[in-house]
Amino acid sequence: MIDASDTALVIEGGGMRNSYTAPAIVKLIEEKVRFGWVGGVSAGSVHALNYASQDAHRAREAFTNFAAHEQFGGWMHFARGHGYFNAEFIYERSGDVLPFDWEAFQANSDIDVHVEAMRADTGHTMQWTRRNIDSLESVGQISRASSTLPKVMPMGFIDGVPYVDGALGYSGGLLIDAAEKAGYSKFLVLATKERSYVRPTVTRPMATRRLFTKHPAVAEALIVRPGRYNASKRRILELEEQGRAHVFFPDAMSVDASERNLAKLTANYALGKAQMEREWDSWVEFLQA
């Protein structure tokens, strides 16, 4: 066991790109690395919840074999008006295929959890922690809300409130600010974008606003997201420079966010695993310092 209770695990989203960081979650579970806090949005929320339940099998399957399920989605599903990803099935009706271990999640209560989504009606960021993740049903609803890509997936609702991707919230997609506000000063960050990545400015804001006339808050969040994301990224790099953050930046990412081809996802998983294994000793050194 590695006691990392003084460290926050911050996980970037990125759809199926998270097949690259999935082996890191598996390794952290198998090596019994115990963080005090784990946070993620969008696909990163799935990683965060799987880590908090200490379920290595689900962490691996969620971004590899599960994508090959006939109900997972695809372009035919999108053409029927139900979204590219079948969000209802993936997050709320897949218990027989990929069950979430609610009992284990409850048993690992020493690991705090932080997931965010953005209210589509107001633009406000909603935050969930162990205090308000109170049932198996809420796990599915919250991870769906945090992962709902506008126009790509049907909107998720909780208690009648519409939500979209947590990456459109105040953090821009990197929960470093939330981790610091939780009192942590040491961070392991799992990124799905390369070190040099800078999110580009939205060049046609009026077109974005026309696309979301029913949800103007979503349009505004898309427009301001680059600034928020880049600010969070700069903060992470500052912390890394200070020796307070250790960051896993992918150097061989081979899929995009919408990939569903199992062979490609499996290969991407293997690439992420190989890089993680190369860097593992430095992770351990950082966590034990």
Q: Catalytic residues, which ones?
A: 42, 165
d(CA 146, CA 238): 27
Q: Which two three-digit tokens encode residue 166?
A: 């947590």
Rounded alpha-carbon distances, angstroms, from residue 222 to 11, 85, 120: 20, 20, 11
Q: Which residue has the tokens 């990125």?
A: 14
3 state SS of 115: strand
- Report the interhelical angle of 136-147 vs 43-52 (nearest 10°): 150
Sign of the dihedral through C-alpha 152, 230, 146, 267? positive
Closest CA to 219 of 144, 121, 152, 143: 121
Side-chain half-sphere exposure of 282, counting CA atoms within 13 A: 11
Residue 134 carries which side chain, given as an amino acid letter? D
